[in-house]
Amino acid sequence: MKKIIGLLLIFTFCFSTEIYFGDVDQNAGTAEVLYSTEQEIGGFQFSFIGGTISNSSGGEAANTGFTVSASSSTILGFSFSGATLASGEGLTLLNIEFIPSDDATEFCLDDVVLSDGEGENLTFDVGPCSEA
C-alpha cells in the first residue's frame, strides 16, 4: 500500500499543472499569466479579480493560434482546430491589460478551468494572488 501511495504522489508531482501570475504592474495595468505543465492544454477560462480587463494578448495562446475572448472580468481561450498549448515550465499563457479597482488589495485568478485537447477537465493548482 505504501508503494502505491508513493507512486501516486510521484505521478502527481511529475505531471502537475499550475497557473499563476508572473509580473503584475498595477501602475501600468498589466499582468502576465504563466503556466507550467507536462500535459496538453486545449482550453482555459478564468476570472480576474482586482480590476476590469481591458485587453488580453500574446503568450502561448497567441503563438498557438488560440481564439481568446475577454470580457471585463473573464478570459476564455481555446482552439477551433484542436491545437494544444506547449508544455513546459514558466511559460506565458497570455498578458492582461486592466484598470485596477480603487479598493483592490490584491489581484487574483479565480474560477479557473483548464481542459485537455479532448475537452476533459485537468487537475491543476492556482498560484497565489498578487499584492496590489
The whole-number pLDDT of residue 16 equals 86
Q: Measured between alpha carbons, how far apart are the two ends of the chain, in Å?
A: 46
**6: helix, strand or coil:** helix
Q: pTM above 0.85?
A: yes
Q: Which three cell numbers stand for residue 116?
A: 485537455
pLDDT digits (tens, 9 = 90+) for 72-131: 999 999 999 999 999 999 999 999 999 999 999 999 999 999 999 999 999 999 999 999
Cα angle 97, 102, 104; round to 5: 75
Backbone angles phi, psi at 118, to 5 degrees: -95, 0
Check whether 54 has a pLDDT greater than 90: yes
Mean pLDDT of the residues in the chain: 91
